[in-house]
Amino acid sequence: MELERATFVNDAWSERSMIAEVTGEHGYYLVAFPPEDPETIDGYAGLLAPAGAAEGDIQTIAVAPAARRHGLGRALMQALIGEARKRGARDVFLEVRADNPNAQTLYRTLGFEEIGVRPKYYQPDGVDAIVMRLAIPSTETTLA
């Protein structure tokens, strides 16, 4: 919750919402921490994707400022996309703040495309959400 509140100052999830997400039946959450210091959380990310559903949703991702620009966000996203594929999803969706160009760039480099805007989605700031979609590439087997 400390990282949640520091990252999403005005629109952080409540502790109750976070617990419901992390313990939910169809969720998949990852937490990243330095091996030598498991009490320090460098990042986390969550996916909502019921097994067998055609779609999944990236619910959240946060990386601590000291851990940014080292590939952790990309690694967390790739792990969530892999889990969505494993659960049978063909598409993954997410919302990103319109005023967060760094996150938008990351998502685009992973293959996400903008498909819409949700006006004033993030409250209380009234910031638009850009809705993005990734068509999950099917796995291919080739000879090594």
Q: What is the pLDDT of residues 64-96, one digit of tens each?
A: 998 999 999 999 999 999 999 999 999 999 999
Task: Report residue 137's pLDDT band, with 50, 70 and 90 as the boundaries.
Answer: confident
CATH code of the domain in which 118 resides = 3.40.630.30
Q: Would residue 144 count as lying in a domain?
A: no
Catalytically annotated residues: 95, 107
Q: Would residue 141 count as lying in a domain?
A: no
Rounded to an integer, the average pLDDT of 21-33 is 93
Q: Would residue 55 count as lying in a domain?
A: yes
* Neighbouring C-alpha atoms within 13 Å toward the C-beta of 60: 22
64 in Cβ contact with 45 (< 8 Å)? no
Q: Would residue 76 count as lying in a domain?
A: yes
Q: Would residue 90 count as lying in a domain?
A: yes
Look at residue 121 in the predicted model and tell me its pLDDT: 95
Q: What is the mean pLDDT of the chain?
A: 92
Domain count, the chain: 1
The pTM for the full model equals 0.89
* Higher per-residue confidence, 132 vs 21: 132
Q: Would residue 61 count as lying in a domain?
A: yes
Q: Would residue 112 count as lying in a domain?
A: yes
Look at residue 2 in the predicted model and tell me its pLDDT: 87
Which residue range(s) make up the domain with 50? 2-135
Q: What is the DSSP string of 94-110?
A: EEEETT-HHHHHHHHHT
Helix 101-109 × helix 72-86 angle, to 10°: 50
- Cα–Cα dist 1/7, whole Å: 10
* Higher per-residue confidence, 24 vs 105: 105
Q: Would residue 121 count as lying in a domain?
A: yes
